[in-house]
Structures are given as structure tokens and as C-alpha cells.
Amino acid sequence: MRRKKILITGSAGLIGSESVRHFGALGWDVHGIDNNMRKYFFGADGDTVWMRKKLLREQKRYKHHVIDIRDEKKIEDLFKAHQFDLIIHTAAQPSHDWAAREPLTDFSINATGTLIMLEATRRHAKEAVFIFTSTNKVYGDRPNILPFVEKETRWELPKNHRYYKGIDESMSIDSSTHSIFGVSKTAADLMVQEYGRYFGLRTVAFRGGCLTGPAHSGAKLHGFLAYLVKCVKEGIPYSILGYKGKQVRDNIHSSDLIDAFCEVYKKPVLGEVFNIGGSRFSNVSILEAIEKTERILQKKAKIKMVKEHRIGDHIWYISDISKFQKFYPSFTLTYDTDKIIEDICRHGHF
């Protein structure tokens, strides 16, 4: 009987490496693409070579490919050489802030690179399931129009508000400021949906909140919780950008996200989009995250408050994952915020 094969892009990153370990443990042949662009984006803090070496050392069925997802010929050749059953596409330029430095690079990786992956799937792996890690930035700053109330440690919605449970997929992606990164990911998100609806491929876009876990190579411009823990642990000053540090994010552990991927693989759909994140089960403001990290590490954070917020940044974002749970009722989140932060503090890469 033929062993199942999976292709994971961004395989040395947070979600990619978690996917490698998960499907390797299931006995799949695992192929990963990662050319360590994260080091180009974020310098030494973002370097993922340590994870690549770790995966090659520990995962006997793992094959690593140093390929740029924008290299159409090499991607085509890889798909011709292997019959993939599942593609998990996590490779991206992931930073809201970095994208403004090199918009062409950002778009070519996030949008064009995704299109190249989709087209290779259409030509050579039509029966495969294609999972894309999109972002909540597709909604731009539209969530900021909601009537937030300032609390002691966070911004919050009134309990009777329709979005109190979280932002669902009905929120418009139009007429808002997305950031350059948000636009490139939105283009990819729509193309993933279209290859499902137009070509009939088994594609799914997950619009994630903060994806996190101890395997994150957290950097100043990306990886909120991992970078915060690193700063507290190593005595590095941490800058809070705007909103008094009361901005709220929901956080989903990489392990929980992989469980969601597995649900989709077992019961494929065509061209669907799902909001995914910690929901009301796992969310935290920056101030709250600092307090929790300080308590676990028994160290005081060095904090710098900056009044100016990032363009298009969310004041409050919690994912409503009801749609996904309606499609996949057996899915449950297992890591709440305290458990996530403790896991990063104890097992993170610093």
C-alpha cells in the first residue's frame, strides 16, 4: 500500500514544523520547502536553520527542499516527481510592518507564490487537499469601527454586541486599511477560494488570529507572544505600539491548528474559508500577556510605551470559529492563553 505524501511549505517555521512532526508521526512521507527567507526578513532572530537541522535529525521520513516558492520550474518539477495527497502552504512574508519596506517582494511571495503552488496542484495533484494559512488582516482595520469600551487591562466589546463572541466570516474585507501585507494575503486568500470554486480543487483558507507556540522563531516584527517571552527572559526592552497596550489578540497554539488541518483532510471541502484562532477560549491583551509572562518567569519586563499605533493595526481581534466548528463539530481547542504562554516560556527557542 502506497504511503501518503504531504508537501509543507515554510516547513522550518512555526506551523510548518508542527505539521512535519505531526504527519511524520503518522507514518507519512513528508516533503518540506523552506529557503529560510525569514532570516532575510528579520535577521538572526528569524533564522530557522536550527529547526531545519532539528527536523532532519529527528524525522526519518522528512525530505527538505531549499526552494523559493516563486520558482515556478522547481515547484513544477517537485510536483511532477511526487504524488502529494495533502499540501499545507504556510510559506509567506508574515510581517505587517516589513511588507511596507519591500512591497514587491511581499506581494511576489504571498500572492504570486501562492498562485504558483495552486497551479502546480491543479496540474499534478487535483485530488489533493490544499490548505492555506491566510490571516485576519484580510479584514483590514474594519474591526476598529466596533464600539470598544476601555477596561483596566484591555479594550472590550459590550456583551450584547453581535461580534462579542468574535469576528466571523461575514465581516466585509472592503473599504478598510489592510496594510501592504494584508493586501497580498487577501489576494492569495481569494485565489485559494477561486481554485476551489472555479476549478473544483479541495482548497481551504484559514484566516488565522495569532498563531503561536514554542517552535516560533519570534522576532520584533513578527511573533507577538514568542518575542515577548524572549524579551522578558533575556532582559530586552519591549516596545508597546499604541492603544495603551490594551489591544486584544486571540492566540491559537500550533498543535491545535494542526488538529484543524487534519479535520479538513478527513472531510475535504471546496474553496471554503474559515476564521480560526483562540476565540473566547484563548485571548489576551498585551498588558495581560506581560503580566502572565512576568509571573511565570519571575522576571520584570522592560517596557517602552509608544503612543503611535501601527497603520491598520487591530484594537481588538478575537476569532469566531463557529463556522469551522459547524463543519467539523469534533474540533476543540486544548491550549488556553495561560497554557500557551507557559509552553513558550518552558520550551521556546531563545
* CA gap 155, 248 in Å, rounded: 7
Q: Which residues of 77-111 are buried (b: 16+ CB within 10 A; e: fewer)?
A: ebbeebebbbbbbbbbbbbbbbbeeeeebbbbbbb
Q: Which residue has the higher pLDDT, 222 or 194?
A: 194
Burial class (CB in 10 A: 0-12, 13-18, 19+), 140: buried
Question: Residue 187 above 80 pLDDT?
Answer: yes
Segment 156-177, tens digit of pLDDT:
999 999 999 999 999 999 999 9
Mean of the per-residue pLDDT values for the chain?
96
* CA gap 343, 297 in Å, rounded: 12
Lowest mean pLDDT among 217-221, 254-258, 287-291, 337-341: 217-221
Q: Which residues of 265-277 are buried (b: 16+ CB within 10 A; e: fewer)?
A: beebeebbbbbbb
Rg (C-alpha) for the chain, rounded Å, is 19
Q: What angle do CA 331, 198, 114 make, to 5 degrees?
A: 70
CB 185 within 8 A of CB 135: yes
Band of pLDDT at residue 350, cut at 50, 70 and 90: confident
Band of pLDDT at residue 344, cut at 50, 70 and 90: very high
Domains of the chain: 5-347 (3.40.50.720)
Crossing angle between the packed helical segments 14-25 and 49-58, to the nearest 10 degrees: 0
Model's pTM, two decimal places?
Answer: 0.96
Q: Which residues of 255-264 are buried (b: 16+ CB within 10 A; e: fewer)?
A: bbbbbbbbbb
